[in-house]
Chain A
Amino acid sequence: QVQLQESGPGLVKPSGTLSLTCAVSGGSISSSNWWSWVRQPPGKGLEWIGEIYHSGSTNYNPSLKSRVTISVDKSKNQFSLKLSSVTAADTAVYYCARDLLDITIFGVVLVFDIWGQGTMVTVSS
């Protein structure tokens, strides 16, 4: 079955850029799914960062949009997150997730059905 694995530096300096990659195994990133990033600061709740489709289409959280770039590399079956101008408030566990996004007669259906294990990123000098 599909598995996701995050990777990237665990420590980023303030004002720098956080860069993470999510490798997709057991399935194709070009399937009919979107691919999301979600983060969770220590002891706090979940926050959606954004998502990408294999075509390159993206949706971002308005609160982070000015600092976020999500990209996809179909040749490597992976997608990536870049978050610029980071501060201590960006310290969190970052998860990648597969999401099902569909428009139905019941409204928008958005389901995060498969998650990576998460990777802790600390912003500190």
Chain B
Amino acid sequence: QSVLTQPPSASGTPGQRVTISCSGSSSNIGSNTVNWYQQLPGTAPKLLIYSNNQRPSGVPDRFSGSKSGTSASLAISGLQSEDEADYYCAAWDDSLNGFAVFGGGTQLTVL
């Protein structure tokens, strides 16, 4: 069971906007920044969003992140077939001397 909670699946049609939620607690999302990773089938994860809402160079502005309290969200607008992947949220947890935690992952299907 993951420390951060994500819905196991999400779906949308091309061009649609979808959001993926990530719920945590005061010791992780409530205190620290959130990152999002995209994992295409059979590949290593790739950094998608860092520090709640920042995009690394090369990530399309269709991807955006937000945080409020102990929850965070990833939004994908103008959904494309190549967005079909697993998405993970992550943060630092301040408990027990501190450690990194991931969400369980959300499998996004483009219908």
Taken together as a complex, chains A and B put the C-alpha atoms of A108 and B102 apart, in Å, by 15
Q: Is B100 within 8 A of A107, CB to CB? A: no
Q: Is A47 within 8 A of B32, CB to CB? A: no
Closest A residue to B8 by CB, please name it.
A45
Q: Is B101 within 8 A of A115, CB to CB? A: no
Residue B44 at the chain A interface, CB threshold 8 Å: yes
Q: Is B98 within 8 A of A95, CB to CB? A: no
Count of CB-CB pairs between chains A and B under 8 Å: 80
How close is A43's CB to chain B, nearest CB, in angstroms? Answer: 10
Q: Is A59 within 8 A of B97, CB to CB? A: yes
Residue A14 at the chain B interface, CB threshold 8 Å: no
Q: Would A45 and B88 be within 8 Å (CB), given that A108-B32, A118-B44 are in contact?
A: yes
Taken together as a complex, chains A and B put the C-alpha atoms of A59 and B100 apart, in Å, by 9
Residues 45-65 (chain A) with a chain B CB within 8 angstroms: 45-48, 51, 59-62
Q: Is A95 within 8 A of B44, CB to CB? A: yes
B92 cross-chain contacts in A, Cβ below 8 A? 101, 107-110
Q: Is A112 within 8 A of B47, CB to CB? A: yes
Q: Would A46 and B44 be within 8 Å (CB), given that A108-B98, A110-B35 are in contact?
A: no
Residues of chain A touching chain B, judged by Cβ–Cβ distance below 8 Å, are: 36, 38, 45-48, 51, 59-62, 95, 99, 101, 104, 106-113, 115-118
Residues of chain B touching chain A, judged by Cβ–Cβ distance below 8 Å, are: 2, 31-33, 35, 37, 43-47, 50-52, 56, 88, 90-92, 94, 96-105
